[in-house]
């Protein structure tokens, strides 16, 4: 076909020119359509809403009240939820422990719940080599029968004492009762609890007062607080309570009603914020306390009523103190100015309600027994035992005692055998668990005497200040079972993990928040449904016991853990009147001082139980003060400056065997013992002291990622942590800020960087606790070093616990 | 070539403008007379194709089409002869299901719980529609939430307080949501592939032209209303953004 | 916008440094409340995000007279840029109008979807209160911590990579309080109804929050104290965050004083 003389196909050919015309036509057409304008708008919006940026679902706001169990403080918390998602933790104002505030750890608690990388999502068994973190998921049935089978097998061959149970739950809590019961029912004598300063406090109380009263300091009513290294602002006790009190004490800028004196070798937050900082060499606190006692007695400032009518052994104590603890001598030991000691003594004795507080740092690690006794003696001297503003003596919470178990023949035989750690033996009569002995027994033996190790709510491989001994011991143990919800170091070594719920998914109790001055029973309730296939360890114990069967099963007649809690709570109802509600108007410590009796706010047990479950609280803000006549349950019936119990114990074993270097009566009284490592001992001329921070979790609960925001880059920089040293020490060693060094003790070595800090005592090296994880996820693994693995300070006399506050170290430039 | 005469005729009538128009027209006339040589076919094809794409294909392809999991009739539920819903005004009747919570937040699309206030027995239908049967069988029986698709969900950066507008500003639901309450069938949910928003935000009209206040829900629409009502201070960024 | 920013309310904060113990709860509360992201390496202080940041200071004295104290530093919500302009310096320089002073509350707003990420405001802020998102914090494709996005609050939108963010005085809590007030048939909110997450969380009650325009509010009373001061006051940026401290060395740290310029007051008063 032709057109105008040309072939039409030629005319219609898609040549370059026509193609451009087509494009131009298309462009004009598109321009005349809404497409470009709509596209421009939409793509602008698209850039604002990347599909990978999550959009948090909206929903109804709910506020669930419960109690935090991340530390022994037991603060009341309120969890804000959006439908079934927990989005924020806040402090409760209707809970007497903490009026509204909580600590950073509690605040970051949701990251422990939701960070899947640190949690076990169900029971697992190890497949790779130990420590490789290689597991396979198994079902609960398989996990339970594996464990029950192993225990039954050991029972059959009579090797029950090769089972050891490590328990990190708080003393007297229902979980601890259950775990100890299980150990007993199986027939193993080796039930071990992670020691804390509360244990040391209670042992000191047992030796001098004859009762193991829970730690109860009436700080809010005190006007002079002399703290021997207690990190009141660094996580001691219930941080929500203490820091709130601190704020109250600082309300009046010019006229402070309460003075706080901090004895500590390093300018911690507590030391800096205190009214006075008294630096004393680590481990010499007992000498300082006795030096203060010396001045008080010499000047006749002590409470004569108490000393004359309610104390025994005072003359011996007086003689010892006057002979050995003059301010000049104490100044030499502690490095504190002698005039300062005199003024401290005067200030302490002349205050209306002075109180001396013990428990180093957070109080999460053991203390020194003689030191705790010396501090208690100081309180006794001024007659502030069981007085408002002093140290209160209480009976433990009146929880129902569960019926005694009836051990079968195997168990009866096993319970006769001696403990592996020798705790409670003649050499260590006052200790319940001794991890260093335990680890040593395993390490020294050709074949581990422990076959199966069960670990509940604890991470001994990381938290124990033992120079890494327990970790080395655990490597030899053939079979380790962890009940941890988290991928902690100890669970990493386990062969079988039966994960517990996270604290926000769990029902459990809190027996007496650490240091609180009135009895309080708290209850934590699940605020979210369990996210994963985990089980409350309380339930698991019951299920496991039933599977083992026989007398072990009979020892656990309950169907579920909550029944046990309920049964024990009956004791609260039966024994004394308490309250289950708190309106926040009058603080409980104020109500106590009023001295009025209490009429319970419930009329039946069921009512009380329902209230406890919903409010998480039973407490008794009333107290019989003074009562010195019948308070002390010692053999003498009085407060014993010279402890009869130690005297009696010394008849069973020599003082030397008990690790005591003092002789005569001095050994039965609080005294200071100079530990072996002298200054300038060989090449290990520096001393390493671990320190705790409120914003860095160092216990069983891992550090939530948010808390890392609060660390300074002179504490942790990339993967390296810092050792604090004084500028003077630094210049002697020719070290600059940021230098890399190796710290070496006889137990181990770590690589750190140097942070020069004026607040560090010359000659000492300070390392933070809580870093240096080798398990968990990218947030924690490999960040910094763990000073626990360096600790090598010998043994605390009498208690047999490790001295972790004074390790000789060598510093080598890296 | 005859057509060439026309512009000159026109130019006689008008001034220089018409002569210019004439020039252009004559050029096109020439093209038309000689269409294939000029490439107009290609230009036209491109133009028409693009217009088709821009006006028909693009608006169609821009949105996904999803059916609601269940066909809910607002009309039946709000018909006083059929369902007794408490409330004297339309607003109160809307709020019977689309309620404010005690904290002032708006519950939006009701949860199954609200439905089950009346439809509590999966065995006993209240009406006769097959939709209700399906609803009882699939959701009420298992107490499973209905995965409704929300027509008016704003993006995450937007904070919108219903109570500020409905209670304090005394706006009707209709002002923004139109006559949704009178519909017997739920419209197909259309999601913009690019932005992820529902079509109701931009409006059904591809040009974004609105004739009713409820046709669009863009920022400008909020601002326009604020200004109209003398509430300029509410055009501050942080009033509606989070 | 040259209109005076006060439209009734002017929210501000007072931090009592004598009460502050440096525990860091405010930082955590802030991060948890506002969906702030967290990275494996939080020690990179130039790139991590802390709307509320604790600064540690020491008196520089030798052992054993050393003392440590802390400055919690949120966004100061300045009122002027220090050069006579009635907008804070960050607002003045913003090319995208992504940050403005909210005329209803005096709060300096930050709209993430509007921000183009030029970081000019970051450079302009004398308090280092502004942070840039170098990474997608919460990403569904490559999560930094699996499952953690479940704790995100719907009240604050998560930020994407490439935008600047900062403290908003928990503006969403103002909105929450308003919603509650409307539900209770009120237009105005009470003092206790709107407070920031950091102030609420502080276990020592060191942080007080309220309306500086309302003489009845605690903050208005507290800023009259002779111990009250602001950070870098002489820049004239008029921050709405005040501090209280009875310690001269702490107050002296708040600005760059010339020798002899700082006037100690604790002796004069106490």
**Distances in Å between the alpha carbon of A530 and those of A499, A505, A533, A778, B7?**
12, 5, 7, 24, 85
Neighbours of C267 (CB within 10 A): 7
Q: How would DSSP label each residue in chain C?
A: --S-S-BSB-EEEEEETTT-----HHHHHHHHHTT----S-TT-TTTS--SSEEEEEE--PPTTS--EEEEEE-----S--SSS-SS-HHHHH-SS--EEE-TTT--EEE-TTT-----HHHHH-TT--EEE--S-SS-SSS-SSTTGGGG--TTSPPPPTT-EEE--SSHHHHHHHHHHHHHTT-SS--GGG---HHHHH-TT--EEEEETT-TTSHHHHHTTSTTEE-TTGGG----SEEEE-S-HHHHHTTS-PPTTT----HHHH-
Give the dihedral sign, CA A11/A12/A15/A18. positive
Give the pLDDT confidence score for residue A5 in this predicted structure.
64
d(CA A811, CA A686): 7
Domain presence at residue B135: no
Q: Which range among A768-772, B25-29, B117-121 has the greatest average pLDDT? A: A768-772
Asked if A174 and A356 touch (Cβ cutoff 8 Å), the reply is no
Give the dihedral sign, CA A106/A107/A113/A117. negative
- Is the Cβ pair B54, A35 closer than 8 Å? yes
Are both B17 and B104 inside the same structural domain?
A: no
Domain presence at residue C122: yes
Asked if C50 and C131 touch (Cβ cutoff 8 Å), the reply is yes
Domain presence at residue C4: no
The values of phi and psi at residue A561, to 5°, are: -60, -35
Testing the interface with A: which of B45, B47, B103, B148 to mutate, by most A Cβ within 10 A? B47
Cis omega (within 30 of 0) on the bond before C64? yes
Asked if C136 and C161 touch (Cβ cutoff 8 Å), the reply is yes
d(CA A75, CA A235): 12
In Å, how far is C175's CA from the nearest CA of chain B?
Answer: 8
d(CA A779, CA A797): 39
Collapsing DSSP states into helix, strand and coil, what is residue A354? Answer: strand
Q: Does position B126 have pLDDT exceeding 90, yes or no?
A: no
Q: How would DSSP label each residue in A325-343?
A: --HHHHHHHH---HHHHHH
Are both B102 and B168 inside the same structural domain?
A: yes
C251 touches chain B (CB under 8 A): no
Are both B35 and B79 inside the same structural domain?
A: no
> In chain A, which residue's Cα lies nearest the Cα of B34?
A4
- Written as six digits, the tokens of C42 are 């939080």
Asked if A512 and A55 touch (Cβ cutoff 8 Å), the reply is no
A273 touches chain C (CB under 8 A): yes
- Is the Cβ pair C183, B103 closer than 8 Å? yes
- Of B42, B61, B80, which one is at a domain's C-terminal end? B61
d(CA A799, CA A802): 9
The CATH number of the domain holding residue C225 is 3.30.70.20
* Region at A680 (left for phi over 0; alpha for psi -120 to 50; beta for the rest): left
CA geometry: angle at A347 spanning A346 and A349, to 5°? 65
- Is the Cβ pair B159, C172 closer than 8 Å? yes
Q: Which of A391-395, B18-22, B169-173 has the lowest mean pLDDT?
A: B18-22
- Is the Cβ pair A233, C21 closer than 8 Å? yes
A594: Cβ contacts below 8 Å, ≥ 6 apart: none
Give the pLDDT confidence score for residue B14 in this predicted structure.
59
Helix H or strand E segment including A690: strand A686-691
Residue keyed to tokens 């139980």: A609
Average pLDDT (C199-211) is: 97
Q: How many domains does chain B have?
A: 2
- Is the Cβ pair C111, B241 closer than 8 Å? yes
Collapsing DSSP states into helix, strand and coil, what is residue A753? Answer: strand
CA geometry: angle at C73 spanning C68 and C78, to 5°? 140
* Residue pairs spanning B and C at CB distance below 8 A: 71
- Is the Cβ pair B53, A29 closer than 8 Å? yes
Collapsing DSSP states into helix, strand and coil, what is residue A205? Answer: helix
In Å, how far is B128's CA from the nearest CA of chain C?
Answer: 38
Asked if C223 and C210 touch (Cβ cutoff 8 Å), the reply is no
Domain presence at residue C2: no
Q: Does position B6 have pLDDT exceeding 70, yes or no?
A: no
Q: What is the mean pLDDT of chain C?
A: 92
Do A124-198+399-619 and A217-392 fold alike per CATH? Answer: no
Give the pLDDT confidence score for residue C263 in this predicted structure.
87
Domain presence at residue C6: no
A536: Cβ contacts below 8 Å, ≥ 6 apart: A500, A501, A506, A507, A508, A561
- Is the Cβ pair A53, C139 closer than 8 Å? yes
- Written as six digits, the tokens of B38 are 């000029």
Out of C29, C35, C56, closest to residue A107 by CB: C29
- Of B44, B61, B78, which one is at a domain's C-terminal end? B61
Strands (E) in A452-531, as ranges, are: 452-456, 479-482, 496-497, 508-511, 520-524
Give the pLDDT confidence score for residue A4 in this predicted structure.
60
Domain presence at residue B81: yes
Give the pLDDT confidence score for residue C269 in this predicted structure.
44
Collapsing DSSP states into helix, strand and coil, what is residue A717? Answer: strand
| Options 3.40.50.740, 3.90.79.10, 1.20.144.10, 3.40.1410.10; CATH of A124-198+399-619 | 3.40.50.740
- Of B38, B61, B84, which one is at a domain's C-terminal end? B61
Q: How many domains does chain C have?
A: 1
Out of C104, C155, C179, closest to residue B239 by CB: C104
Give the pLDDT confidence score for residue C125 in this predicted structure.
96
- Written as six digits, the tokens of A123 are 């029971």
Out of A18, A26, A49, closest to residue B155 by CB: A49
Residue keyed to tokens 């039409």: A8
Out of A4, A49, A55, closest to residue B34 by CB: A4
Residue keyed to tokens 């192993």: A150
In Å, how far is C56's CA from the nearest CA of chain B?
Answer: 31
Tell the burial category of C3 from Cβ atoms under 10 Å away from its Cβ (0-12, 13-18, 19+).
exposed
Domain presence at residue B131: no
Testing the interface with C: which of B197, B238, B242 to mutate, by most C Cβ within 10 A? B238
Question: Strand C11-16 vs strand C241-244: parallel, antiparallel, or unpaired?
Answer: parallel
Give the pLDDT confidence score for residue A485 in this predicted structure.
97
Give the dihedral sign, CA A302/A304/A310/A316. positive
Give C83-97 as a 3 state SS string: CCCCCCHHHHHCCCC
A90: Cβ contacts below 8 Å, ≥ 6 apart: A77, A78, A79, A80, A102, C29, C200, C201
Domain boundaries, chain A: 2-48, 124-198+399-619, 217-392, 686-813
Q: Does position B4 have pLDDT exceeding 70, yes or no?
A: no
Are both B44 and B99 inside the same structural domain?
A: no
Mark which residues 492-531 of A lie under 8 Å from C by CB: 531
d(CA A696, CA A722): 14
Q: How would DSSP label each residue in A143-171?
A: HHHHHHHHHHHHHHTT-GGGEEEEE-SPT
Domain presence at residue C106: yes
B239 touches chain C (CB under 8 A): yes
Touching chains, C (3+ CB pairs < 8 A)? A, B
Are both B71 and B182 inside the same structural domain?
A: yes
The CATH H-level superfamily of A217-392 is Dimethylsulfoxide Reductase, domain 2 (3.40.228.10)
Question: Strand C207-211 vs strand C11-16: parallel, antiparallel, or unpaired?
Answer: antiparallel
Q: Where are the alpha helices (DSSP H) in B62-172?
A: 74-78, 90-97, 112-115, 130-135, 162-163
Tell the burial category of A673 from Cβ atoms under 10 Å away from its Cβ (0-12, 13-18, 19+).
buried
Domain that holds residue B39: 2-61
Out of C16, C18, C154, closest to residue A57 by CB: C154
Chain B residues near residue A87 by CB distance under 8 angstroms: none
Mark which residues 182-201 of A lie under 8 Å from C by CB: none
Q: How big is chain B, counted in residues?
A: 242
Are both B154 and B56 inside the same structural domain?
A: no
| Per-residue pLDDT tens digits for A487-532 | 999 999 999 999 999 999 999 999 999 999 999 999 999 999 999 9
- Is the Cβ pair B105, C175 closer than 8 Å? no
- Written as six digits, the tokens of A263 are 């004895």
CA geometry: angle at A135 spanning A134 and A136, to 5°? 140
Domain presence at residue C1: no
Testing the interface with B: which of C103, C110, C114 to mutate, by most B Cβ within 10 A? C103
Domain presence at residue C120: yes
> In chain C, which residue's Cα lies nearest the Cα of A247?
C204
C148 touches chain B (CB under 8 A): no
Domain that holds residue C147: 11-269
B170 touches chain C (CB under 8 A): no
The complex's ipTM works out to 0.94
Domain presence at residue C5: no
Q: Which long-range CB contacts under 8 A does B221-225 form with residues at least 24 apart?
A: none
Are both B71 and B157 inside the same structural domain?
A: yes
Chain C residues near residue B105 by CB distance under 8 angstroms: 179
- CA dihedral (C155, C159, C160, C161) in degrees, to 10, reads -170
Average pLDDT (C95-120) is: 95
Chain B residues near residue A22 by CB distance under 8 angstroms: 42-43, 45-46
What are the average pLDDT values for consecutive 10-residue runs of chain A, which has 814 residues?
63 78 91 92 88 92 96 96 96 94 96 96 93 89 97 95 96 96 97 96 97 94 96 96 94 85 97 96 97 97 96 97 97 96 97 96 96 97 96 95 94 95 95 96 96 97 96 96 96 96 96 96 97 98 96 96 97 90 91 78 95 95 92 96 96 93 94 68 85 96 96 96 97 96 95 97 97 94 96 94 95 90
- Is the Cβ pair A104, C23 closer than 8 Å? yes
Domain presence at residue B138: no
Give the pLDDT confidence score for residue B102 in this predicted structure.
95
Touching chains, A (3+ CB pairs < 8 A)? B, C
- Mark out chain B residues that contact chain A at CB-CB < 8 A: 34, 36-37, 39-51, 53-55, 58-59, 62, 101, 103, 105, 107-108, 155-157, 192, 194-197, 202, 206-208
A113 touches chain C (CB under 8 A): yes
- Is the Cβ pair C246, A244 closer than 8 Å? no
Are both B164 and B229 inside the same structural domain?
A: yes
> In chain B, which residue's Cα lies nearest the Cα of A17?
B39
- Is the Cβ pair C100, B168 closer than 8 Å? no
Alpha carbon of residue A67 to chain centroid: 16
A712 touches chain C (CB under 8 A): yes
Are both B72 and B100 inside the same structural domain?
A: yes
Give the pLDDT confidence score for residue B34 in this predicted structure.
64
Out of B49, B58, B107, closest to residue A26 by CB: B49
Domain presence at residue B125: no
- Is the Cβ pair A21, B59 closer than 8 Å? no
C151 touches chain B (CB under 8 A): no
Nearest residue to B112 (alpha-carbon basis) of B146, B162, B159, B150: B146
Partners of C81 in the β-ladder:
none
A25 touches chain B (CB under 8 A): yes
Burial code of A636-648, b = ≥16 C-beta within 10 A, e = fewer?
Answer: eebbbbbbbbbbe
Touching chains, B (3+ CB pairs < 8 A)? A, C
| Per-residue pLDDT tens digits for C112-146 | 999 999 999 999 999 999 999 999 888 887 777 88
Mark which residues 6-35 of C lie under 8 Å from B by CB: 7
Residue keyed to tokens 């930050």: C110
| Per-residue pLDDT tens digits for B81-100 | 888 888 888 889 999 999 99
Chain C residues near residue B108 by CB distance under 8 angstroms: none
The values of phi and psi at residue A524, to 5°, are: -100, 135
Are both B174 and B70 inside the same structural domain?
A: yes
d(CA A478, CA A476): 6
Domain presence at residue B203: yes
Are both B30 and B73 inside the same structural domain?
A: no
| Per-residue pLDDT tens digits for C241-262 | 999 999 999 999 999 998 888 8
Instruction: Find the distance separating the first CA and the last CA of chain C, reported in whole Å.
Output: 44
Give the dihedral sign, CA C91/C94/C97/C99. negative
Q: Does position B12 have pLDDT exceeding 80, yes or no?
A: no
d(CA A801, CA A803): 7
Out of C40, C153, C159, closest to residue A88 by CB: C153
Q: Does domain A686-813 have CATH number 2.40.40.20?
A: yes
Chain C residues near residue A268 by CB distance under 8 angstroms: 68
Give the pLDDT confidence score for residue C266 in this predicted structure.
62
């Amino acid at each position: 076909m032709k057109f105008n003389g040309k072939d039409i196909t030629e005319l219609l050919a898609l040549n370059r020119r026509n193609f451009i015309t087509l494009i131009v036509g298309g462009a004009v057409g598109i321009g005349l359509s809404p497409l470009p304008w709509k596209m421009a708008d939409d793509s602008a919006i698209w850039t604002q809403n990347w599909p990978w940026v999550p959009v948090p679902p909206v929903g109804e706001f709910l506020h669930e009240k419960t109690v935090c169990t991340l530390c022994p403080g037991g603060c009341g918390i309120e969890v804000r939820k959006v439908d079934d998602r927990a989005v924020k933790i806040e402090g409760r104002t209707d809970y007497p422990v903490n009026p509204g505030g909580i600590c950073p750890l509690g605040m970051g608690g949701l990251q422990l719940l939701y960070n899947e990388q640190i949690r076990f999502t169900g029971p697992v068994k190890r497949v790779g080599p130990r420590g490789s973190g290689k597991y396979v998921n198994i079902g609960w049935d398989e996990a339970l029968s594996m464990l029950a089978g192993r225990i039954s097998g050991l029972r059959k061959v009579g090797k029950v004492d090769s089972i050891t149970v490590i328990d990190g739950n708080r003393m007297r809590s229902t979980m601890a009762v259950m775990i100890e019961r299980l150990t007993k029912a199986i027939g193993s004598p080796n039930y071990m609890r992670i020691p804390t300063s509360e244990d040391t406090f209670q042992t000191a109380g047992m030796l001098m007062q004859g009762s193991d009263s829970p730690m109860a300091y009436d700080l809010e009513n005190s006007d002079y607080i002399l703290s021997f290294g207690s990190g009141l602002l660094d996580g001691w006790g219930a941080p929500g309570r203490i820091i709130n009190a601190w704020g109250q004490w600082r309300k009046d800028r010019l006229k402070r009603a309460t003075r706080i004196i901090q004895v500590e070798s390093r300018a911690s937050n507590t030391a800096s914020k205190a009214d006075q900082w008294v630096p004393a060499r680590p481990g010499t606190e007992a000498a300082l306390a006795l030096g203060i006692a010396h001045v008080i007695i010499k000047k006749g400032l002590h409470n004569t009523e108490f000393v004359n009518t309610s104390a025994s052994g005072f003359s011996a104590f007086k003689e010892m103190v006057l002979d050995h603890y003059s301010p000049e001598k104490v100044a030499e030991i502690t490095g504190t100015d002698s005039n300062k000691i005199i003024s401290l003594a005067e200030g302490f004795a002349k205050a209306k309600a002075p109180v001396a507080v013990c428990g180093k740092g957070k109080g999460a690690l053991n203390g020194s027994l003689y030191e705790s006794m010396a501090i208690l003696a100081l309180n006794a001297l001024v007659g502030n035992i069981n007085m408002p503003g002093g140290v209160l003596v209480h009976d433990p919470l009146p929880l129902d005692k569960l019926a005694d178990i009836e051990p079968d023949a195997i168990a009866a035989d096993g319970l006769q055998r001696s403990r592996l750690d020798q705790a409670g033996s003649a050499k260590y009569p006052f200790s319940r668990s001794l991890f260093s002995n335990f680890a040593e027994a395993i390490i020294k033996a050709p074949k581990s005497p422990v076959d199966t190790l069960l670990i509940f709510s604890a991470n001994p491989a990381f938290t124990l200040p033992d120079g890494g001994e327990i970790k080395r011991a655990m490597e030899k143990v053939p079979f380790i079972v962890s009940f941890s919800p988290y991928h902690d170091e100890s669970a990493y070594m386990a062969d079988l993990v039966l994960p517990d719920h996270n604290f926000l998914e769990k029902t459990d109790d809190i027996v007496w928040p650490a240091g609180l001055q009135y009895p309080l029973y708290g209850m934590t309730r699940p605020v979210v449904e369990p996210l994963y296939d985990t089980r409350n360890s309380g339930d698991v114990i019951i299920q496991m016991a039933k599977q083992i069967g026989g007398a072990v099963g009979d020892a656990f007649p309950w169907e579920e853990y909550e029944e046990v809690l309920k049964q024990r709570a009956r004791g609260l109802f039966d024994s004394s009147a308490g309250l289950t509600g708190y309106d926040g108007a009058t603080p409980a410590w104020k109500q106590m001082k009023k001295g009025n009796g209490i009429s319970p706010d419930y009329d039946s047990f069921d009512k009380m139980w329902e209230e406890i479950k919903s409010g998480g609280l039973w407490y008794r803000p009333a107290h019989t003060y003074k009562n010195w006549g019948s308070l002390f349950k010692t053999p003498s019936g009085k407060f014993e400056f010279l402890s009869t119990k130690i005297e009696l114990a010394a008849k069973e074993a020599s003082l030397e065997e008990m690790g005591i270097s003092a002789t005569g009566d001095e050994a039965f009284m609080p005294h200071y013992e100079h530990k072996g490592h002298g200054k300038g001992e060989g090449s290990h001329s520096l001393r390493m002291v671990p320190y705790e921070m409120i914003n860095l979790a160092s216990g069983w609960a891992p550090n939530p990622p948010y808390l890392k925001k609060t660390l300074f880059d002179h504490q942790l920089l990339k993967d390296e942590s810092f050792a604090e040293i004084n500028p003077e020490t630094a210049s002697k060693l020719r070290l600059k800020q940021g230098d890399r060094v190796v710290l070496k003790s006889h137990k181990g070595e770590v690589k750190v960087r140097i942070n020069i800090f004026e607040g560090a005592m010359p000659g000492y090296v300070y390392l933070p606790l809580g870093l240096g994880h080798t398990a968990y996820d990218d947030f924690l693994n490999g960040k910094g070093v763990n000073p626990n693995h360096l600790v090598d300070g010998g043994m605390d006399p009498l208690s047999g616990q490790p001295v972790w506050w004074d390790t000789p170290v060598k510093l080598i430039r890296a | 070539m005859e057509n060439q005469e026309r512009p000159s005729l026109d130019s006689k009538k008008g001034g220089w403008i018409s002569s210019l128009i004439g020039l252009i027209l004559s050029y096109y006339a020439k093209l038309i007379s000689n269409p294939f040589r000029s490439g107009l076919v290609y230009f036209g094809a491109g133009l028409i194709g693009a217009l088709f794409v821009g006006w028909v294909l693009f608006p169609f392809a821009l949105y996904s089409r999803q059916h609601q999991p269940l066909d809910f009739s607002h009309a039946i539920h709000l018909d006083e002869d059929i369902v007794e819903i408490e409330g004297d005004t339309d607003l109160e009747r809307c709020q019977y299901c689309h309620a404010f919570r005690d904290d002032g937040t708006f519950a939006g699309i009701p949860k199954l719980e609200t439905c089950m206030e009346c439809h509590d027995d999966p065995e006993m239908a209240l009406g006769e529609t097959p939709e209700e049967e399906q609803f009882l069988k699939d959701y009420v029986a298992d107490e499973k939430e209905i995965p409704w698709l929300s027509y008016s969900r704003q993006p995450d950066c937007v904070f919108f307080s219903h109570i500020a507008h409905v209670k304090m500003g005394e706006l009707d639901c209709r002002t923004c949501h139109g006559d949704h309450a009178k519909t017997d069938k739920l419209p197909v949910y259309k999601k913009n592939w690019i932005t992820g928003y529902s079509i109701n935000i931009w409006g059904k009209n591809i040009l974004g032209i609105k004739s009713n206040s409820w046709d669009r829900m863009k920022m400008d629409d909020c601002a326009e209303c604020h200004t109209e009502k003398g509430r300029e201070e509410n055009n501050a960024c942080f009033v509606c953004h989070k | 916008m040259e209109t005076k920013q006060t439209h009734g309310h002017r929210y501000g904060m007072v931090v009592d440094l004598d009460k502050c113990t440096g525990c860091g709860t405010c930082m955590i509360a802030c991060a948890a409340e506002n969906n702030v992201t967290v990275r494996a390496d939080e020690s990179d202080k130039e790139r991590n995000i802390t709307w509320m940041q604790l600064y540690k200071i020491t008196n520089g004295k030798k052992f054993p007279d050393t003392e440590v104290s802390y400055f919690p530093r949120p966004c100061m919500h300045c009122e002027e840029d220090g050069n006579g302009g009635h907008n804070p310096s960050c607002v003045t320089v913003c090319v995208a109008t992504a940050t403005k002073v909210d005329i209803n509350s005096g709060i300096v707003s930050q709209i993430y979807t509007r921000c183009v990420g030029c970081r000019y405001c970051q450079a302009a802020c004398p308090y280092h209160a502004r942070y840039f998102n170098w990474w997608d914090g919460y990403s569904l494709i490559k999560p930094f911590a699996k499952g953690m996005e479940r704790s995100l609050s719907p009240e604050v939108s998560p930020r994407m990579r490439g935008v600047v963010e900062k403290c908003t005085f928990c503006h969403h809590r103002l909105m929450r309080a308003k919603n509650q007030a409307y539900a209770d048939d009120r237009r105005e909110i009470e003092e206790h109804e709107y407070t920031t997450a950091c102030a609420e969380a502080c276990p020592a009650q060191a942080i007080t929050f309220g309306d500086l325009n309302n003489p009845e509010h605690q903050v208005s009373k507290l800023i009259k104290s002779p111990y009250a001061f602001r950070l870098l006051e002489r820049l004239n940026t008029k921050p709405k965050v005040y501090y209280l401290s009875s310690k001269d060395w702490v107050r002296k740290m708040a600005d760059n004083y010339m020798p002899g310029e700082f006037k100690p007051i604790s002796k004069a008063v106490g």
